[in-house]
Structure 1
Amino acid sequence: MRVVSFSLVVPYVGIPHAGGELYLRHLTVLEELGHSVTVVAPSTELNRRAADRPGAPPSLILVHPDRMRPSADAIWALARPDAIRPSMRRAFRADTAVRDAVDAADVVEAQWAEMAFALGSRHRTQGSVLVVHDIPAQREWRWLQAAWRQRSPRKLIWRSWRTAVVSVTQIPALRAADITLVLSEKDAALAARSTRASRISVIDPVIWLGSDESAREDVAKVALFVASFGRRENAEAAVWLLDDVWPLVRAEHPDAELVLAGHGPPRHLVDLAARTPGVTVTGFVDSLDPYYASARVVLVPLRSGAGVKLKTIEALVRGKRIVATSIGAEGVIDVTGSHPFAVVDDARRFARETALALRTPGGADPLITEWARARYGREQYRAALERTLSTIIAGRPPGDRIRGDSVSR
C-alpha cells in the first residue's frame, strides 16, 4: 500500500521531542507492514537538517513556502495563531511532487491536527487518516490556566484569544479525515465534542526499547524528570518541581539527587537548578538509557499541556516507579480503570510520594511492567494500525473502536 504522510516535522533517530519519536516509530511500523511511505513536510531549517540525519524517511518531499504575500501571513498569525500560514498552505497545494505522490497514493495521512488542512477535497479519492497527538483546545485551555496562575495580563489576553479561536477551528480539523486516530479514550471523548464519534478510533501509542530494562536494586536515590525543556509546559513543570517540591524531598533525603534530562533547557531553568542543591540539568543527551537505569523514581510534574504523556508510558515500560500529576498521568489507566502509579497535584503530597519512592529500592510491580509492555508494545500497534488501514481501503464504515487486535463498536 502506498501512503503519503503529511507532517510538521521530519523524524530521525534521536529527535528531541516525544511527538517526533512517536512519529518515527509509526513510520517504522508502516514499513515493517510492507507499506511504501512518502513523508511531506515544510522546508524549515530544522527539517532540512533532519533530512540528513540517520533514520530520516528515505522518501521525503520538503515543501518551500510561497513568499509572495507576506502580509497575508502576518494577518493570519493574529487571526489564527495556532495554524499553518497561508503561504505554506498554498505551497503544499501547488507543489507538483506532492500532487503526484497523492495521486498515486492509496491512503493519505496527516500527523498533528495542524496538518489536517492537507486532507482537502482533492484527496477524497483516497482514504484518509488524521493522527491527533493531543486535542488542540485542551492544550490551549491549560496554557490559559497557566497564565492565570502567573497573574500575567498580557499572557491572559493572548491565551484567551488563542483558546477561543482554537476551540472553533479544531472542529473542521477533526472532521477532515475518514478516521481520526487519538491516543487515549480521554482524547476520544474530547474529540467527539467536535466531530461525529463514528470518525474517531483509539490507538495506544507504541513504545519499544533497545534492550531489556529490568529494574536494578542497587540504584542510588535519584529522581528523574525527562522532557524537552524548550516546551513551555515542561519548563514550567520543572520550575514548580524545583521551587515547591524538591526542597521538601531534600529535607527528608539530604543525599537525594534530581536529574532534569532533555533538550533545550531555558536559561532561567539552568540558573534556578544551579541554585538548588542536588539538581543536575543535562541538556540534550544521545541516549536516555543510562539516566533511566540509574533512577529510582521517574517524576512527571506537568501542570499544563494535553494528550497522553509518552514520558509516563516510557517509564512504565521500563519498569520504573512513577510519581505524576493528574495531567502527567492523563490517558494512562490499567485494566481496573486506575492509574498504576502515584498521582498527586499538591506540592507537599507530591514531595511525600517522591520521598517514599526514594526510600524504596527496586522498580515497579512486575505485573504492572508486564501489562505496560503488552499494551504499548510493537505488536499491538502493528495490529491496530493495519486494521485501521484495512478498514479504510475496504470501505467499511469508519468508527470501529480500534485497540490491539480487536475491533468493537
Structure 2
Amino acid sequence: MPVSHPDPAGNIGTLTTPGAALPADPHGRIRILSISRCFPYQDIDHGGGRYVAQLARAWEPFADVTWAVPDNVENQQALARPGRPEDVVLVGRSGSRSAASRALSFAAHQAQARVTLGGPTRPPLTMASRLLLAPALRAAVRDADVIDLQWLEYIRLHRLIRRLNPRARVVGTFHDSTAQAFTRYAESLPMPERARWQKHASDTARSEAVAAGAVDIGVVFSEKDRELVDPGGRHNVVVLPPAQQISGPVDRDPSAGPTCVFVGHFGRPENESGLRWLLEAVWPLVRSERTDAHLLLVGPGASAELSALVSSTPGVRFTGFVPDLGEVLGRAWVALSPLLRGGGVKFKTVESLLAGTPTVATTVGAEGIVPMESLTAVEDDAEGFSRAVLHVLSDPLRAARETAAHQDALQDSYGWPAFDRRVRSIYWP
C-alpha cells in the first residue's frame, strides 16, 4: 500500500501520488477528479461511503481517479485501511509559508466555522480556498476529463470548477434531497425551532434546484429524488440506482428461529430514532404474540444510552459491524426498515430485497425502491407494522417465495451489470 506523505510545498494537508503528475493514458483511459466527503476502502460502514466504493469499482476499467476529501480524523484513519485507492488528497488548512496563503486559509476556516454555527448547510469554503491556493490540487482539476462532485456541498463548487477547467464534464451526485430531510426533521420539532428548520429546508430546496442546472449531469438514486431535486424536469438529471454488495439471493437458513433484523449505522439520527420507535412501540406488540421472536441489530455506532435501551428490551441484541451481511440476511425471516425521517434510497432496504429476505418498511424506509411491490409491506403505524412482521413470521417460506418473485425486476434496477452500464454512460466523455 502506498504511504501517505506531506505535500512538499505544504499546500495540502496530506497527498499521495498526485493525480496531476499522471500522463495521459495512450489506451483511452480518462482522468476523473472526485471531490467527496470520503474515499472508498474495504468494509466502509456507511451508505455514502458504500456508494463511492461502488462507483470506484465501476470506474476502474476506464478511468484513473484522484480523490480530494476533507482532512479530518475519519479520512486520516481511513488512509491505513485496506482497499483504499492510491491517489488520495486530504484537503485541509494551508501549511504554506506565504502570508497571503495563510491569511486566506485562516479566513476560510473562520468563515466555515461561522457558517456551520449559523445553520446545517455548509458551503465547503476550506475546499474552495485550497482549490485556489494549492498547486497540486489545482493541477488535478485542470487535467481532469471529468470532475465528480459528491453531495450537495461539493456540487456548490461548480462555478469555481468551471473557472479552473471549462472543458471538463462536471457530474454532481445528490445522495438524497437534503431539503426533504430538513423538512421531515422540522416536523418533529416544536416552535420556534420548527420554523428555523423549515427556513433551512426552503433555502436548501432552492440551492438544490440551482445546483441541478449548473452541472452537466446531475445524478440521483431514485425517481422520487429526481422530482425533488429537479421539479419540472428542466435539467439533465439522471437516475443511477446504486448497486449493492449483495448482488442476488443468498442461501436461506431458517434454523435460527423467528429472527428479525434491522441493519444500519446506529450513530445516524434517523436510524436511532427509527430504532427507538421499533423498540418502544412495535416490538412489544410483536413479542406479545411471538415470545420466541428475536431481533438482531446489525451495525456500529450505538450510543451508551441506546445500548442500555437495547439491553433492557427482551429478545433484542446488537451484533455490531458484520463483514458478511449475506449470512445474517440468510438466517433472518424478515428484515425491517423502521425509519421515520431522513431522505434518499435506503441501501440496506435494497440489500435485504436482493438477498431475498422479506422486508417490512415504513414509507420513509421504502422510498425510491423499484419495484415497490418487492416489499412485503409498507406500514407507518406501530400496529400495522407489527401485524406485517407477525404475518411473515407465521409463514416465512411463503413470504420468501413472494420476495423471490421480484428478483428479475430488482436486478434490472440494482444489479451490477445495469450499474456498470449507467456509470459508463454518465462519466465517459
TM-score category by the smaller chain?
A: 0.7 to 0.9
Q: CA deviation at 1:219?
A: 4.0
Bigger mean CA offset, 75-84 vs 238-247: 75-84
SS at match of 1:372: helix
Bigger mean CA offset, 18-27 vs 279-288: 279-288
**Which letter does structure 2 place at the counterpart of 1:356?**
H
Residue of structure 1 equivalent to 2:381? 346
8 Å CA contact retained: 1:208, 1:378: no
Report which structure shows greater RCO (CA 8 Å, sep ≥6): 1
Residue of structure 2 equivalent to 1:29? 58
Does residue 303 (structure 1) correspond to residue 340 (structure 2)? The answer is yes
Q: CA deviation at 1:312?
A: 0.8
**Which letter does structure 2 place at the counterpart of 1:62?**
L
Percent identity, aligned pairs only?
32
Q: CA deviation at 1:74?
A: 3.1
SS at match of 2:188: helix
Q: How does 1:352-367 map to 2 (within 5 A)?
A: 352-362=387-397, 363-365=400-402, 366-367=404-405
Structure 2: runs of 5+ lacking an equivalent: 1-29, 95-104
Residue of structure 1 equivalent to 2:148? 109
SS at match of 1:38: strand
Equivalent residue in structure 1 for 2:204, among 157, 166, 172:
166
Equivalent residue in structure 2 for 1:139, among 178, 181, 185:
181
Does residue 313 (structure 1) correspond to residue 350 (structure 2)? The answer is yes
The CA distance in 1 between the partners of 2:266 and 2:317, in whole Å, is 13
Q: CA deviation at 1:368?
A: 1.4
Relative to structure 1, the CA distance from residue 318 to residue 344 in structure 2 (aligned partners, 3 Å threshold; closer, same or farther) is same
Structure 1: runs of 5+ lacking an equivalent: 394-409
Q: How many residues align?
A: 383
SS at match of 1:328: helix
**Which letter does structure 2 place at the counterpart of 1:232?**
P
Bigger mean CA offset, 322-331 vs 117-126: 117-126
8 Å CA contact retained: 1:242, 1:276: yes
Does residue 48 (structure 1) correspond to residue 76 (structure 2)? The answer is yes
Q: CA deviation at 1:72?
A: 1.9
Bigger mean CA offset, 124-133 vs 215-224: 215-224
Does residue 381 (structure 1) correspond to residue 381 (structure 2)? The answer is no
SS at match of 1:327: helix
Q: How does 1:275-314 map to 2 (within 5 A)?
A: 275-314=312-351
Q: CA deviation at 1:260?
A: 1.2
Residue of structure 1 equivalent to 2:18? none
Does residue 19 (structure 1) correspond to residue 44 (structure 2)? The answer is no
Bigger mean CA offset, 232-241 vs 35-44: 35-44
Residue of structure 1 equivalent to 2:167? 125
Please give the root-mean-square deviation of Cα atoms over the aligned residues, in Å.
2.1
The CA distance in 1 between the partners of 2:249 and 2:375, in whole Å, is 21
Deviations along 1:110-141, one digit per CA (max 9) or x if unpaired, are 11112113333223210111111101101111
Bigger mean CA offset, 21-30 vs 203-212: 203-212
Q: CA deviation at 1:338?
A: 4.1
SS at match of 1:172: helix
The CA distance in 2 between the partners of 1:218 and 1:285, in whole Å, is 19
Q: CA deviation at 1:96?
A: 1.6
8 Å CA contact retained: 2:266, 2:272: yes
Bigger mean CA offset, 322-331 vs 380-389: 380-389
**Which letter does structure 1 place at the counterpart of 2:89?**
I
